[in-house]
Amino acid sequence: MPRQFAYYPGCVAEFSSKELNATTKALAPLLDIELLPMPQATCCGAGDIAEAKPNLYLTLNVRILSEAEEMGVDILTICNVCTLNLRRANKMVKEDPRLLEQVNGELVNAGARPYQGTIDVTHLLWYLATEEGLSLLEQRGPRGLNGLKVAPYYGCQLLRPSSVMGFEDPDRPQSLERLITALGGEVADYDGKTRCCGFPIILAREEVALKESHVALSGARDAGAQVMVTPCPLCHLAMDAYQRKTEQLMGEEYAMPVLHLPQLIGLALGMPTQTMEFKRHFTPMDEVLETVGA
Amino acid sequence: MASTTFRVFRYQPDSGDLESYHQDFNLDHEEKTTVLDALLRIQNEQDGTLAVRYSCRSAICGSCACKVNGKTVLACMTQVEEAKAESGSSTLQVDPIGNFAPIKDLVVDMTPFWDKFKAVKPFLIPDGPAPDKERLVPKAAMEKVAKESACILCAACYSECNSLAADPEFVGPAAFAWGYRFAADERDSQRKNRAKLYSGQHGIWDCTRCMFCNERCPKGVDPRDAIEKLGAIAFQEKVTKDKGARHAKAFLISMRTGGKLNEQLVGGFTDPVGGAFNAPLALRMLQKGKLPASPLTHKVKNRDQVTKLIKNVKETI
């Protein structure tokens, strides 16, 4: 029996970064995961709706949790920001029965299903970086990264605040490192891996944001990485699509291809490169594909 | 008894040496010794020139924030053996807090911090003449600002703030925690003016949501949450001209019109003027299929529920 999840890809993976959604869907059966669609689910608000209308943020996110609860399964995400927003709402109502009652009152008034507080929200990285997940990868066989030097890049919101996220030590995370090693890659370690990519303010404060992403890009480059991998499509946009702008602003060259997490696994498992849609990336992937023999 | 090597940041410009370096001190100490006690023993027993700022030794004064193996903490509330176990290292490297210029060893120049703190007007500005007796406030009203009232101004939140590292003018987490503490106080008369004051160029919309401040605060203030609440106050007061506020508005419009993010809308709506300078990037994104050619919104099932929630849910900030 495959492990079933309510699949919440988030808006960026569904629209701008379709390659992430496509790769995740192709990867799921290989890892014995069944991704069930959530047709009612809205955007999580990405922190923006929380910043404008906090009560509306909470209600909308609890409505998403409730849809998964009705399906009888936990939610699986592939985005740091969605993970934080959904987990935060879940924690708020699970810890405060009066708040849950208020939110449910709004949901019922609007014709939506009330939430009982019974489900959990996890990220693909967390599911795979456990012993169970790593053994799933092992069963799939080849340690196919052929020594590819990979810089893990976590970004912020899958780690902090740890009171909401709590999967691993936010200052010494190891989940990406465990996966890279298990897949036959070599870890390029550097300080910037837990720093911000700047994406949340890239449209409103572009220069501040690009200076932030510079910290991680230059760190990965200086650690000798051939490629960076991230569990978040917003980090991916900041690091890949905006990389040339950051190079122009900082007067430096990074030439750093950036992989979505499922693409790294796909490469190791020998998934066809067309499936992973590397043509949608900005920074060329040629050297990476050559190293792994894809 | 335990034994630890402390690798301490040294910087003594008064002695003519303008280069900083790390110096190792070995110390035998009790199991429960704090980092501050260890530093003071090193100062007393091994090197009297070591400069450390401290006062209360009990996590109230906020003077002794520093980095221990890269993580910002209060030296007085961090036990040496616990810090070693947490970082998996037998050596503790002690550095001054980040994002400030060092004056001497672990002492940094806090002037920019106090300037920003003052700039948010961190005091109550009531309306009208003072009453004969105190201004009474219901308990529930004060609970709204209880978390933020716990701030001890230690600057641990500034030490690793990613926005501050990229923009030294960013007003920053602690100052905005205080800003919220007064903006949300029902005795204060300056709610709208505060929303305007805090929405400037280096204001609340500069926050990149790296969450380091919430992670590091030794008092559970959660400064990022305070910045978020100031955003909600700005929306309530209709102070929404800043590009950051427009970005949030684009999400609200997306929610209203379909339920999922309308990526075409968000760029142009956030920055209708400056966005033109991003035309080359937008074009490349279009070529890569990263901007959908169609401006149509993405509609979720049972969207009437979403519409009703947007209409019905009242904000209580």
Cβ distance A212 to B232 less than 8 Å, yes or no, reads no
Query: Mutate which of B180, B198, B247, B304 to test chain A, going by most A C-beta atoms within 10 A?
Result: B247
Site of tokens 């379909």: B258
Task: Measure the CA–CA gap between B207 and B205, rounded to whole angstroms.
Answer: 5
Q: Determine whether the interchain pair B222/A161 forms a contact, defined as Cβ–Cβ distance below 8 Å.
A: yes
**Other residues' Cβ atoms within 10 Å of the Cβ of residue A99:** 14
Is B247 in Cβ contact with A161 (below 8 Å)? no
B267 reaches A (C-beta below 8 A): yes
Domains and CATH numbers, chain B: 2-108 (3.10.20.30), 111-236 (1.10.1060.10), 243-312 (no CATH)
Cβ–Cβ of A201/B206 closer than 8 Å?
A: yes
Q: Can you name the residues that pair with B107 across neighbouring β-strands?
A: B104
Note whether A3-123 and A141-292 share their fold: no
Q: Given B261, B271, B284, which is nearest A203 (Cβ)?
A: B271
Query: Hey, what amino acid is at B316?
Result: T
Residue B131: asked if its preceding bond is cis (omega within 30°), the reply is no
Rounded to the nearest 10 degrees, how much is the dihedral formed by the CA atoms of A213, A218, A219, A223? Answer: 150
Residues of B whose CB is below 8 A from A55 = 313-316
Structure tokens at B72: 């910002």
Residue A74 tokens read as 């936990």
Chain B interface disruption, residue of A66, A203, A217, most B CBs within 10 A: A203
Please report the residues numbered 191 through 250 in chain B whose beta carbons come closer than 8 angstroms to any beta carbon of chain A.
205-212, 214-215, 222, 224, 228-229, 231-232, 235, 242-250
Token pair for B236: 């309530």
Record: contact A204-B270, CB cut-off 8 A: yes
Nearest residue, CB atoms, A160 vs list B215, B242, B270: B215
Q: How many CA atoms lie within 13 A of B9 on its CB side?
A: 23
Rounded (10°) CA dihedral A58, A230, A121, A85: -10
- Taking a C-beta distance cutoff of 8 angstroms, is the pair B229, B248 a contact? no
Minimum-distance CB partner of B290 among A17, A49, A206: A17
CATH 3.40.50.2300 is right for the domain spanning A141-292: no
What pLDDT sits at residue A141?
72
For the domain with range A3-123, which CATH number is right: 1.20.1050.140, 3.10.20.600, 3.40.47.10, 3.90.650.10? 1.20.1050.140
Q: Do B243 and A156 touch (CB under 8 A)?
A: no
pTM of the model: 0.97
* pLDDT tens digits, B198-253: 999 999 999 999 999 999 999 999 999 999 999 999 999 999 999 999 999 999 99
Q: Which residue in B265, B313, B240 sits closest to A61, CA to CA?
A: B313
Q: Domain residues of chain A, as ranges?
A: 3-123, 141-292
What is the pLDDT of chain A when averaged over all its residues? 96
Q: CB-CB: which of B210, B249, B305 is closest to A156?
A: B210
What is the structure's pLDDT at B265? Answer: 85
Pairing of strands B65-68, B91-95: antiparallel
Nearest neighbour of A160 by CB, restricted to B212, B232, B306 = B212
- A55, A109, A209: residue with CB nearest B208: A209
Distance of alpha carbon B288 from alpha carbon A16, whole angstroms: 9
Q: CB–CB of B158/B164 below 8 Å? A: yes
Tell me, what's the pLDDT at B279?
81
What would the pLDDT profile of B120-139 be if each residue is shown by its tens digit?
999 999 998 889 998 889 99
Q: Where does the pLDDT of residue A143 fall: very low under 50, low under 70, confident under 90, or very high at 90 and above?
A: low
Between residues 14 and 43 of chain B, which touch chain A (CB distance below 8 Å)? none
B310–A39: do the CB atoms touch at under 8 Å?
no
Instruction: State pLDDT tens for residues A199-235.
Output: 999 999 999 999 999 999 999 999 999 999 999 999 9
Confidence (pLDDT) at B295: 60
Which amino acid is located at B79 in the chain? Q
